[in-house]
A and B are shown apart, each in its own frame.
Chain A
């Protein structure tokens, strides 16, 4: 009995030894896979947060340019539409197509754009253009209702400012638009 048992016993340790190796190997494989996966996830997350940051840089850049454009509208000039970046309603000049082609640095329309030069070193400088919207009629409730006396009934007070900003990666672009009344 013992002999048989012993014989049986003899077999078993041999099998056990082989399983441990396999299991060890499998575990090792799992660990490796886990490790690799974890590493890949971290890298992905790192990549993901990097793109987010870049998008944020682009947004801030675009907003800076937008505000610079609004500042121009508010303070600077009687619009001179021969200056790059200024468009008048109905002038037939092709605007930059930043909706469909936002990341092409050469996409500056036929009338040009204005670079926003902040203190930051940009991959591409944020840009904007200003479009004067059609004159609007001033309402009669606060002013003279007189007709035909030669006084202009309309005032150009609305402007559209469109700005784009780039992230550190030239493919990250944010395009913003605002309507501004002065």
Chain B
């Protein structure tokens, strides 16, 4: 057994050991969720249900009434020996109950009556709201009302009777039996359960489908048990409009996350609102707000008119409540909450009919311009009456919707509601969604909504007072005015689907991004793709999106591919298969076996230790393997035992994707055989599959085809194997798995060039692994490394070629990394791992306890591409320089006597040390001085969010001496303002431009001239581009409306940290950096801006060389957007370089 094997076996158990080890007092807290998550502001949703009397009926659509009336009311009269029914009365016409002896068989067939039992549909028992469903109904003991546990029951095999309209039968007793909904009679007219099927081939049925001759009776008692069951469920849960609506609403809301505040009401309730918005959750031992919703829903008993206009107005009035218990408060219903200026409010108005009742007296709101609304960011908006919003009618439903849209419902708070193309309202307003059940208007909804942004479409609204159809158009009109959506479902199933899509639109949030963008090229081309990793904290799903770019570098909004979509497409059976050419939808999910090779992650391939780690106490290891492979049948909602997922793809938080294709790394310049053979290796990459790799917190490193998004393979590091059961736990609290950023580069191993992937875990654990991905279809494991010196929070490593006189070639390939935090000794060190064996090559520790080394940067100062100097910063504010002594042993480069000294000691103006948690970067200035750039600050644990200590960005010259703040030239952020470009305001900063003189570098304290100390820090690696160094800074925020915080891109002259002559930022975004990008400073001069603000936390930008002398930057932000900006290119001469005539 090799050392490797031994190490491997230990890794499985290491997770448990690691959790014990970090218990020390000096442990550095690393948050296990993205720090800006949980800070979001959940939207309000007021659900208004139509409880008018028509909801009690058992037919749909309303048009059927004209054929239900036969002759006079006496035809509908039920004559029994024990009593008489009144006539059914609905929609201005006599209707009546239906029973088998008086014809009108179409009413008992789903062909025309969409409410009646359809043998082709499955009627599932609805959810109770507590993650269980109502029971399947007994055919012989079916409750009249399945939603009421005390309901009377009937035997459907003999006592079934279809009554289409019980509105006027409510409360009627027949022969001692309560008539409820579909009445069941004990008298002679009762029968066995039945339905009719339609036969369109019978002559005349195409023109008159109401004729009894078109229908054939089916006796349910003669059908299979499954069909009896289905019929019984329909009878108890679906047979009337209100019952099927309850089921549809129940299913739709049951699928919603807790990150939503739901209120509810019915249109016949005084003031409509039954309960105001509350968090859609059940607090253990506390308020059962979620359950309350379902209890209310299932208890609704319709009776009354359809006063929609008043009800929508009531919902709007509710959203206008301004006290601390109101709908904008963080504690609705309880005083003392905080009103958040970015909370969105929605009202979903559901109806089956045509409005009547109260006149709301709002006037012609959509025909009248609104007042001008502003906010503190300088946005202004005024509603201008126009197409497609305006009509000439007063007091319509659309006028009510417009009233609560165009007016600021919360004038006392700032206006920062997120806007969209459809809804530009940034003030607190009500968005109206209309959902119709079995009703239709004349105006095309798609057209009406398209008209909002397309002036060529003209919509003419009919007068709602004139016809019923126009009242449905008015509901659509209200949805357009309220910038929501409109759905009109012809049957209960479609209603449920459409309500679900409404809720999905409302809840589409919780997503974010915390990792950098990767691109498949360094230059903007027509086939350029950029890759963005995303997470969604609702259910911890994730995605990797590939976006195409326009020729000017803009991101095309619709992703070219989505990894989650691709992964969710195969069936549960398919994902359990191993991916081969015949099973392309299978998964190649790999894990190390005991011999250090890779095996497919299948239960039978695992050794006993691995199986034990997955079995826990319950022995469900084999199912866990299937669940991790993506078998959704094992999830709770599908009858399994494991956590519900929203996607097979897990969340991507800190792992930045890495592209691997045909790129070269310059190794042809290496000495020896390596350099000689590199060009041939480069050429051999020509036909290689292009890949993008990313780590996710579903326990996997994923390898996707960079052009199609197909998952080519995935890999489970041994150390996370033991943590995988956490993912299956229904009470899973998020933690990190494979959260580090993989790097992919070339290395010469065992006499041949290989492409290697080095993976890290970041806050997910203490392992570094290396895969050979030279053939992405058949990756192999090189090694997995763990060591006492290795801590957590290692976000990325480097592969370096260094001098080593002890080897035959005189050189050696190593993996270099800072050791991270919470290593066993709690010290900071430079870790060097032997690339060939995966063993520890050298661990260079620096002084200081409770410390940790962040990412490192290796450079070459002598032989090209041979690393001889490494820089890295630690938690105590020391930037260390490492080099090799005469025997090629790595050491701290600067020392006084035997005391190692850092290259730079970072302190703030009061002398407090400033932690370095990001990788430095290194470049030469124009004088040829080696300059190291780094920022300070920490954003690792929850306490860091509120830490306002002063942080700084630095550019220091490495001349071999140890530096302090006083050795550097100070630059300051002098001005901060807002640049107007078209209708947008772009925040900018102007910095000082002090001459560096003979100082050994520069520093700039991150103190805003407007807001002062606000905890601004720089926790990502700077970017070097031409003569500029770009720092990305982060300002955490307690205010959840800020999405966790904001940030700046600071583009500075790398030599002195000041301004760059002529400017570097394309502030107005016109594609060139010129005089139009200058800003007027306080002295009245036009100067270049050096800072570009973002309202969200932004990640390190990725740059593409663009057309002309412009570089295009893309940065992912904490709201999950891709931000795009331009900077000046590096100025290299492009165009024709030579010309000659050959003939």
Contacts and interface: CB of A to CB of B under 8 A. Distances in A.
A77 B1026 contact: no
A150 B683 CA distance: 18
Contacts of B921: 144, 146
Interface stretch (A1-9, A28-36, A108-116, A173-181): A173-181
Contacts of B522: 152, 155
A117 interface: no
Contacts of A155: 522-523, 1105
B666 A150 contact: no
A145 B924 CA distance: 8
B1018 to A, nearest CB: 16
A154 B867 CA distance: 18
B1026 A142 contact: yes
B796 to A, nearest CB: 7
B1139 A152 contact: no
A18 interface: no
A99 interface: yes
Contact of B1141 (A70, A88, A153, A175): A175
A122 interface: no
A49 to B, nearest CB: 21
A181 B1133 contact: yes
Contacts of B858: 146-148
Contact of A99 (B924, B1136, B1142): B1142
B1138 A179 contact: yes
Contact of B526 (A78, A164, A180): A78
A78 B666 CA distance: 21
A175 B525 CA distance: 29
Interface in B913-936: 921-924
Interface stretch (B15-23, B232-240, B657-665, B726-734): B657-665
A173 B745 CA distance: 47
Contact of B666 (A70, A137, A177): A137
A152 B663 contact: yes
A182 B1023 CA distance: 22
A180 B1142 contact: no
Interface in A54-112: 59, 70, 74-78, 88, 90, 98-99, 102
Contacts of A152: 522, 663-665
B1134 A182 contact: yes
Nearest to A176: B1141
Interface string B857-868: 111100001010
A141 interface: yes
A173 B1143 contact: yes
A14 interface: no
A153 B743 contact: no
Contacts of B682: 135
B665 A153 contact: yes
Contacts of B744: 150
Contacts of A102: 1142-1143
Contacts of B798: 146-149
Contacts of A173: 1143
A150 B528 CA distance: 18
- Interface magnitude class on chain B: 35 or more
Interface centre among A76, A88, A177 (most CB of B within 10 A): A177
A13 interface: no
Interface in B1099-1143: 1105, 1107, 1130-1143
A144 B922 contact: yes
B664 A154 contact: yes
Nearest to B1022: A144
A155 B664 CA distance: 8
Nearest to B921: A144
A130 interface: no
Contacts of B669: 137
B1052 interface: no
Interface string B520-556: 0111011110000000000000000000000000000
A76 to B, nearest CB: 7
Interface string A25-47: 00000000000000000000000
B437 interface: no
A78 B922 contact: no
Given A78-B527, A98-B1143, A147-B865, A153 B924 contact: no
A180 B1139 CA distance: 9
Nearest to B813: A148
B1135 A148 contact: no
A76 B1025 CA distance: 25
B1024 interface: yes
A142 B1027 contact: yes
Interface string B735-761: 000000001110000000000000000
Contacts of A70: 1135-1136
B773 to A, nearest CB: 12
Nearest to B866: A147
B111 to A, nearest CB: 56
Contacts of B1134: 74, 157, 181-182
A112 B469 CA distance: 65
A145 B666 contact: no
Nearest to B859: A145
B796 A147 contact: no
Contacts of B860: 145, 147
Contact of B1139 (A146, A150, A177, A181): A177
A148 B816 CA distance: 9
A148 B666 contact: no
Contacts of B816: 148
Interface centre among A70, A148, A149, A152 (most CB of B within 10 A): A148
Contacts of A137: 666, 669
A124 to B, nearest CB: 14
B799 interface: yes
Contacts of A78: 521, 525-528
Contacts of B525: 77-78
B549 to A, nearest CB: 11
A172 B688 CA distance: 44
A162 interface: yes
A76 B526 contact: yes
Interface string A135-171: 1010011111111111011110110001010000000
B800 interface: yes
B924 A140 contact: yes
Contacts of A135: 664, 682
B1143 A145 contact: no
Contacts of A148: 665, 743, 745, 798-801, 816, 858, 867
Nearest to B528: A78
Contacts of A162: 1142
A179 B1135 CA distance: 8
A152 B858 CA distance: 15
Nearest to B747: A148
Contacts of A147: 798, 800-801, 858-860, 865, 867
B1138 A99 contact: no
A109 to B, nearest CB: 15
Given A144-B1023, A155-B522, A175-B1141, 7 more contacts: A74-B1134, A98-B1143, A140-B924, A143-B1024, A145-B860, A181-B1134, A181-B1135
Interface of B: 521-523, 525-528, 658, 663-666, 669, 679, 682-683, 686, 743-745, 796, 798-801, 816, 857-860, 865, 867, 921-924, 1023-1027, 1105, 1107, 1130-1143
18 contacts: A70-B1135, A90-B683, A99-B1143, A134-B679, A137-B666, A137-B669, A145-B922, A147-B860, A149-B745, A152-B522, A154-B663, A175-B1141, A175-B1142, A175-B1143, A178-B1140, A180-B1135, A181-B1133, A181-B1135
Ranked nearest first, the 4 interchain pairs of A and B with the lowest CB-CB distance are: A152-B663, A150-B743, A78-B525, A153-B666
Interface of A: 59, 70, 74-78, 88, 90, 98-99, 102, 134-135, 137, 140-150, 152-155, 157-158, 162, 164, 173-182
